[in-house]
Each structure stands twice: as structure tokens, then as C-alpha cells.
Structure 1
Amino acid sequence: MAADQIILYGYRLSSCTWRVRAALNFKRIPFEERKVDIVKAQEQLTEKYRAINPAQKVPALVIDGATLVESMAIIDYLEDTRPGPKLTPESPLAKARMREICEIIVSGIQPLQNFGLKLQFNTEEQYLKFSRHHCERGLQTLEELLKKSSGSYCVGDQLTVADLCLVPQLFNITTRLGMTIGKYPTLSALFAKLLAEPVFKETHPKSKQ
């Protein structure tokens, strides 16, 4: 592997992988994406992948001679080392608003609906009831926050990390969990608008790889 080669280990339908894929795309950073099948083959549980990511999760990014794990840490690194175009607002308040939205998604929604949780339930119905309940609570919170912070994007008129977190999560909620978001007008309108943005069209799980 070339010293300057950037490799993203991930799963196309993983919201965490999509965040990083979108960040790389937005900053126009060339990279190679290598599939880790976390559903059928469960390749994340192999010793080969464990050597790449000890947590045995996706994504992992090989960059600058190092391997980084955890999507938000990876995005922070990209923002620090490849600052243009920026994914964080300049204003301290706007930056805090961005982080509020990110935390609700990354900490309050995503972990409570991921594939790994299924093993903790006896039936698919139990898993879906649990996940949909917690997603609904998160959506309610996001709707109230976005009423105050959103413009063309989650925070004003600048695309930020909040948008990179929002789109993949809403995609999973509306497809994999079969939930509807129409009763959240701010959220649903923003989601439709963001899906048409080049960064999300080009990195969409169903886009040409």
C-alpha cells in the first residue's frame, strides 16, 4: 500500500461510514473504499479486521500513516488536517448548535438502532419496537432544535458535520426501520433538500461505487 493512499473500511449502509464518506467527498480527498460486510458475512468480527479496528466496528480510515476509528474522531482529524472547505462554523454559538445536533444523533439515536442490538432481543418485533421508540424521541428533539438553528442546512446556511450526521441517520430510520418523518415539517423538508445536495447524491449507499 502506498504511503499516501487513503483507505476507508466501511459498509455502504452504515450511517457512521456514510458520514465519513461524505466528509471525504466534500473535502475532495481521494480515497479507496473497502467493503466490510457487517451484516451477512460479519467480517468485522474476523481477526483480520480486528487488527485494523480493535472495536470491530465500521468505519476505519487509514490516512497519513495512521489508522483512525470512530467516525466523529475521523471527521475531526480531516477538519484539522484538511481545513478547506470547512465543515464547522466559525461562531462559537453556531458550533455549539452543530454539536448539539451531532450528539443527539451520534449518542442518542444511532447506538439504539444499529444492527448489533438485534442480538439482544428475542424477536425482530421487540428490536423494532425498542429502536423506533428511541428514534422517535430523538426526532422530536431534532425537530425543536432545527426550528431554531436551521437555514439551508442544519445550522444556518453552511453545510456542517451536523448535516453529515443527519442525512445517513434519517435514511436508515425511514428505510431500514420503516418510520415516517412527515409529522416533523422542519426535519422532513431539510432531509429532502439535503438528499439533493451533490455530497449526498455522490456518496449515497445506492450510488454507483
Structure 2
Amino acid sequence: MYVLILISKYKYFKRSPEYLKINPNGFLPTLVIDDQPLNESLAIIEFLDEKYPDETPLLPKSLLDRTNVRAIALTIASGIQPIQNLGVLNYYSSDGDKKKEWANHFITKGFEALEVMLQRTHGKFCVGDEITMADICIPPQVYNAKRFDVDMSRFPIISKINEELEKIEAFKKAHPSSQPDAVN
């Protein structure tokens, strides 16, 4: 059982004192379990994977595969995604076209590196043929890439993995456009 609390990405930058008590950096997401706040997407994903294990863990048993999964996930979560956060974009410029150009540039640069990484590791998904934590990071970033007019034809591996993920019900439900606070 969980309670979903929606926070407008436009309003959360006000960083209320109440929210800063559970997440001192003021970022999203935060998951509170047994009155313990957990912050940062990848840490939350690992926590949930270990707390609620199933037959296909999000981190493979092989040390090399686990390392590759974490490297891919961190490339996205730490290298590509933060540069297009609203706070960064708004600090950079108030001009919508400049923000779009900025985000396009850095997503493209990050995807160039990611595409090379995936050449060594991919199967049907990022690392082989099982869904991993790395795969969870792909759809939101591809969604943003499209939002900022990144030429996805330059990234066939990323695109193919994303297409495979879009066929899976859990990924359909998690898509940004499927969220209760989606803005069309």
C-alpha cells in the first residue's frame, strides 16, 4: 500500500520547509518507508528491488553485468538528466529556444556516449536480455530527448531498447503521459 503525493515540478522549486525536512536537497523523488525518507531515484530503485525481490532482480548476479548496469544508469541519472532539470534550465536562460538548444546539446552528447556503452552490453535490453535498473532509466530520458527535439535516428540502440520497453505493461503504466498529473 502506498500514498502518491503529487508535487508540481513547477512549484516544488519553492522548496517548502516541510519538504526540506524529508529531502534536504529539495529534489524529487522522495520515498518514505517506516518514517524513513529515501532520496535519489537509483537508491530508491535498489531499495525497492531488494525489499520486494522477484524472480528477475534489477541488478544481475554477475559482478561485471551489475557494474555495467550501474554505469549505464549513472550515465543517465548523473550525467545526462541533471543538465536538463528545470532549475538548471531556468538558471541558464529565460529564453525557451535557448533552453531547448542547451538541453538538446547535452542530451545528444550524453546519448553519443551511452550508445557506445550499449554497443558492448546490449541484447534485447541495456545489459543482455533481462530488464535491469539501467532499462528503467531509458524511457524517461528518451521522452525528454523527444521533448527537446533530439534526433533519435542517431541512436539506434537506445531507440530499439526503448521500443522494446514500450511494449511492457509496467513501462506503459510508468510513462510520463500515463501519470495522474500529466499535462498534455
TM-score for the superposition, normalised by structure 1: 0.78
Per-residue deviation, residues 71-90 of structure 1 (Å, max 9, x unmatched): 11112222232222411111
4+ runs of 1 displaced by more than 6 Å?
Answer: none
- In the alignment, structure 1 residue 141 sits paired with structure 2 residue 113: yes
Name the stretch that deviates more: 86-95 or 45-54. Answer: 45-54
> Do the aligned residues in 2 keep the contact of 1:44 with 1:50 (CA within 8 Å)?
no
Task: State the match for 1:61 in structure 2.
Answer: 31
Name the stretch that deviates more: 117-126 or 84-93. Answer: 117-126
**Structure 2 counterpart SS, 1:32:** coil
User: How far 1:43 sits from its partner (Å)?
Assistant: 6.2
Partners in 1 of 2:155 and 2:174 — Cα distance?
25
Structure 2 gaps, min length 5: none
> Do the aligned residues in 2 keep the contact of 1:152 with 1:158 (CA within 8 Å)?
yes
Relative CO higher for 1 or 2, CA cutoff 8 Å, sep ≥ 6?
Answer: 1
Partners in 1 of 2:14 and 2:47 — Cα distance?
23
> Do the aligned residues in 1 keep the contact of 2:139 with 2:175 (CA within 8 Å)?
no
Distance 1:106 1:130, change over 3 A: same
Partners in 1 of 2:24 and 2:171 — Cα distance?
29
Q: How does 1:159-198 map to 2 (within 5 A)?
A: 159-175=131-147, 177-198=148-169
1:102 counterpart letter in structure 2: A
Decide which of 105, 109, 115 is 2:80's aligned counterpart. 109
- In the alignment, structure 1 residue 207 sits paired with structure 2 residue 164: no
Distance 1:51 1:200, change over 3 A: same
More helix by share: 2
Structure 1 gaps, min length 5: 1-29
Partners in 2 of 1:86 and 1:64 — Cα distance?
23
Decide which of 47, 68, 71 is 1:100's aligned counterpart. 71
User: How far 1:51 sits from its partner (Å)?
Assistant: 2.4
